[in-house]
């Protein structure tokens, strides 16, 4: 099967898994559940669950234990987007080609839906105990999910990003820190959890964390590039937001051409590191390579 068809097929499967873990819309608190489901089902590439599932397969994982964690990582990713779009942050009206959650449900419900998704992610991930109680990796996987989403991960990176906005004095070192945490941490979490639950060794887990860090960095640089060269139709959100928000990005630091070269080089470094493992997953390699050419 051709790679793009394979991606489409797997994305659809992942969509089904995520959907199966979403809450029923019922009870007096129904509105928050509707807002959660609206946000998660608004589309998206489902990259993080895909990386998680493929890393799990890379290390020989075969059970459904990975599924609640796949849903959980997408819930955490979605919460971050819902909160990032709020008036107090980027104040965006469109995301994934649809109205943002607060634009549809109001600001208070946008905040609550984000909070609820973060919490429900952990409630969902713990269902792994029912699927494979004998898997000793579950506590470590939960710890990784928590840590990489929090102050030592995504929230930490977003904090520095928010504080730097509109200010001069951004250094390359600080920008790397922001990218590693804000974007990289959830990608690291995804791939590490796949490795942990499949029973990879400590050394293999470390290698995968490094591979994922490089994938995350390349992904964020490509995001910066698309904010300059992309189109609103394909991206599903307005372009030029970095310039409007006076943001220092990899593109403003290094220039467009160097940024494009670096996306390719950093991704190839990630692939080379993965190739040094004894286990192989060709689809995962192709997936990482395909991200360098992504248009959304
Ligand atoms: C609000 C705590 C908090 C964190 C926000 C993730 C984030 C941090 C902000 C969103 C804006 C942004 C540019 C984040 C960097 C990561 C990134 C490129 C997210 C978009 O991920 P995709 O392209 O989105 O995988 P889809 O829609 O495909 O799921």
Distance CA 246, CA 242 (A): 6
Residue 103 CA, ligand 1 centroid: distance in Å: 18
The residue contributing the CA closest to ligand 1 atom 5 is 80
Q: Is the dihedral of CA 239, 245, 249, 252 positive or negative?
A: positive
Residue 176 CA, ligand 1 centroid: distance in Å: 16
The residue contributing the CA closest to ligand 1 atom 7 is 80
- Indicate the top mutation candidate among 182, 216, 225, 288 to test ligand 1's pocket, ranked by most ligand atoms within 8 A of CB: 182
Nearest to 193 by CA among 204, 185, 205, 182: 205
Residue 277 has which token pair?
Answer: 């493992």
Residue 183 CA, ligand 1 centroid: distance in Å: 7
CA distances from 123 to 72, 75, 83, 129, 161 (A): 8, 11, 20, 11, 29
Distance CA 159, CA 10 (A): 34
User: What 3-state class would DSSP assign to 238?
Assistant: coil
Atom of ligand 1 nearest to the CA of 114: 1
Contact 102, 86 (CB under 8 A): yes
- Indicate the top mutation candidate among 156, 223, 290 to test ligand 1's pocket, ranked by most ligand atoms within 8 A of CB: 223
Distance CA 212, CA 39 (A): 25
- Indicate the top mutation candidate among 84, 150, 151, 185 to test ligand 1's pocket, ranked by most ligand atoms within 8 A of CB: 84
Distance CA 293, CA 141 (A): 31
Q: List residues near ligand 1 (CB under 6 A).
A: 44-45, 47, 80-81, 83-84, 96, 154-155, 158, 182-183, 220, 223
pLDDT in tens, the chain (296 residues): 799 999 999 999 999 999 999 999 999 999 999 999 999 999 899 999 999 999 999 999 999 999 999 999 999 999 999 999 999 999 999 998 999 999 999 999 999 999 999 999 999 999 999 999 999 999 999 999 999 999 999 999 999 999 998 888 899 999 999 999 999 999 999 999 999 999 999 999 999 999 999 999 999 999 999 999 998 888 888 788 888 878 899 999 999 999 999 999 999 999 999 999 999 999 999 999 999 999 88
**DSSP, residue by residue, 71-117:** HHHHHHHHHHHHHHTSTTTT--SEETTEE-HHHHH-HHHHHHHHHHH
How far is C-alpha 68 from the geometric centre of its chain's CA atoms?
A: 16
pTM above 0.75, yes or no: yes
Atom of ligand 1 nearest to the CA of 46: 29
């Amino acid at each position: 099967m051709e790679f793009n068809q394979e991606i489409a097929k797997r994305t659809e499967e992942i969509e089904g898994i995520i959907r199966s873990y979403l809450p029923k819309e019922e009870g007096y608190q129904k509105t928050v559940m509707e807002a959660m489901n609206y946000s998660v089902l608004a589309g998206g590439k489902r990259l993080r669950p895909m990386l998680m599932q493929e890393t799990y397969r890379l290390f020989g994982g075969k059970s459904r234990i990975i599924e609640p964690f796949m849903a959980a990582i997408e819930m955490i990713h979605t919460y971050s987007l819902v909160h990032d779009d709020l008036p107090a942050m980027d104040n965006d009206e469109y995301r994934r080609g649809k109205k943002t959650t607060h634009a549809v449900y109001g600001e208070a419900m946008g905040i609550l839906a984000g909070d609820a998704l973060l919490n429900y992610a952990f409630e969902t991930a713990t269902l792994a105990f029912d699927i494979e109680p004998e898997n000793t990796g579950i506590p470590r996987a939960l710890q990784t999910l928590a840590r990489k989403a929090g102050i030592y991960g995504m929230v930490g990176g977003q904090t520095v990003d928010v504080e730097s906005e509109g200010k001069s004095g951004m250094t390359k070192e600080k920008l790397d820190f922001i990218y590693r945490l804000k974007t990289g941490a959830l990608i690291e979490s995804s791939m590490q959890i796949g490795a942990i639950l499949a029973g990879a060794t400590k050394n293999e887990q470390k290698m995968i964390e490094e591979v994922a860090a490089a994938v995350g960095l390349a992904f964020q640089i490509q995001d910066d590039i698309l904010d300059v060269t992309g189109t609103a139709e394909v991206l599903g959100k307005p372009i030029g937001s970095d310039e409007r928000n006076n943001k220092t990005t990899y593109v403003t630091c290094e220039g467009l051409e160097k940024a494009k070269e670096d996306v390719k080089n950093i991704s190839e470094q990630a692939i080379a590191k993965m190739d040094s493992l004894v286990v192989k997953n060709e689809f995962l390699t192709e997936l990482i390579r395909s991200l360098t050419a992504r248009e959304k």
